[in-house]
Amino acid sequence: MATLTETSSHTTLIVGAHGTVGSALSPLLTARGHRIRRATSRTPQAADDVHLNLLTGEGLSTALTGVDHAFLMAPPGHLNQDVLLAPVIDAARAQGVTRVVLMSAMGANADEQAPLRKAERHLQASGLAWNVIRPNWFMQNFNTFWLQGIRQQGQIFLPVGQARGSFIDARDIAAVAATLLTTDTHADAEFDLTGAEALDHDQVAAILSTVTGRTIGYTDVTPDAMRPGLLAAGLPADYAEFLLTILGYFKAGYAERTTDAVQRITGRAPIGFEEYARDYRESWA
Ligand SMILES: NC(=O)c1ccc[n+]([C@@H]2O[C@H](COP(=O)([O-])OP(=O)(O)OC[C@H]3O[C@@H](n4cnc5c(N)ncnc54)[C@H](OP(=O)(O)O)[C@@H]3O)[C@@H](O)[C@H]2O)c1
């Protein structure tokens, strides 16, 4: 790893601060002596919370006042990520923010017309110091999105065949973001973030079985079989279709690739699936 030079103390706005990645990022920044401002679209609860609704732009100017750096992501459930994020990037630039780290998604740059790709391009052309990080599928999906089938039927139900994914622990994404936000080593660069190895869902189920002491299996389902569950869970129809489309990319093998970016940026190996499963064991009880 290159020698990292810590930047001086600054204030960072974290969009999605109460979400999976953002909640892991906040303590890493404060531990390094930086101030944080945690954006929420709900009523702020803590002193460092700030109201910001990306769907309406409400709170944007206040949220950015006095901010040096920002961590941005698009809230899940919306497919117009460029429309949601471009005003934030523009306002950041106008209000004197100097650096933005944008969490995109692995594969987003495969299509220049994809809204998330347009958001990446907007940041890269903004004149701000930038990083784009594109994580692969999160390990934490197994204790959130895919949790119900595991808990209630002991099954992971997904339309991905025997394709493998190099799942990444969200805590590694946060660790990468923290380094990019607090050092100058990797300015103006983009990274695909993955775990160290690719696993298929039989292997995932076997690890979850070992760690929980329960029998957990994997059932390959069709997209048509999965759709009603996504809609019943409250996903907008267009987002459910998008999710089924990208699960098709998973099935086609596009999630198998591994990169060394976590190791290179953080100086340590990515968290393995077994360690993740042990740490979240209570989720599947
Ligand atoms: N899951 C995966 O496998 C995966 C893989 C690659 C990329 N990603 C990307 O990761 C991102 C999700 O990250 P995550 O899992 O850490 O998030 P998350 O846990 O799903 O949390 C979503 C966050 O978005 C905030 N939010 C919701 N609506 C908002 C609004 N209108 N304005 C401002 N903030 C709003 C929520 O904050 P409040 O409720 O406090 O407002 C919450 O902190 C998405 O952009 C997704 O594309 C996910």
Q: Which of 18, 79, 193 to mutate to test the pocket of ligand 1 (most atoms within 8 A of CB)?
A: 18
Least confident of 4-13, 39-48, 186-195, 205-214: 4-13
Fill in the amino acid letter for 126.
S
Using pLDDT thresholds of 50, 70 and 90, give the confidence band for residue 285: confident
CA of 45 from ligand 1 middle (Å) equals 18
Question: Does residue 56 have a pLDDT over 70?
Answer: yes
pLDDT of amino acid 155: 98
Tell me the whole-structure pTM to 2 decimals: 0.97
Q: Which of 21, 38, 116 to mutate to test the pocket of ligand 1 (most atoms within 8 A of CB)?
A: 21
Q: Which two tokens stand for residue 152?
A: 């209630």
The full DSSP string for 82-148 is HHHHHHHHHHHHHTT--EEEEE--TTGGG-TTSHHHHHHHHHHTSSSEEEEEEE-SBGGGGGTTTHH
Question: Does residue 4 have a pLDDT over 80?
Answer: no
pLDDT tens sequence across 14-33 = 999 999 999 999 999 999 99
pLDDT tens sequence across 64-104 = 999 999 999 999 999 999 999 999 999 999 999 999 999 99
pLDDT of amino acid 215: 97
Q: CB–CB of 100/42 below 8 Å?
A: no
Give the number of the atom of ligand 1 that is nearest the alpha carbon of residue 76. Answer: 44
pLDDT tens sequence across 140-185 = 999 999 999 999 999 999 999 999 999 999 999 999 999 999 999 9
Using pLDDT thresholds of 50, 70 and 90, give the confidence band for residue 5: low
Question: Does residue 7 have a pLDDT over 80?
Answer: no
Q: For the chain, give the mean pLDDT.
A: 96
pLDDT tens sequence across 268-282 = 999 999 999 999 999
Q: Which of 138, 147, 166 to mutate to test the pocket of ligand 1 (most atoms within 8 A of CB)?
A: 138
The domain spans of the chain are: 11-136+169-194+258-272
pLDDT tens sequence across 91-142 = 999 999 999 999 999 999 999 999 999 999 999 999 999 999 999 999 999 9
CA of 16 from ligand 1 middle (Å) equals 5
pLDDT of amino acid 184: 92
Please give the CATH topology (third level) of the domain spanning 11-136+169-194+258-272.
Rossmann fold (3.40.50)
| Helix, strand, coil percent content, the chain, rounded in steps of 5 | 45, 15, 40
Pocket around ligand 1 at a 6 A CB cut-off: 15-22, 39-42, 52-55, 73-76, 103, 105, 135, 137-138, 141
Q: Which two tokens stand for residue 134?
A: 């594109």
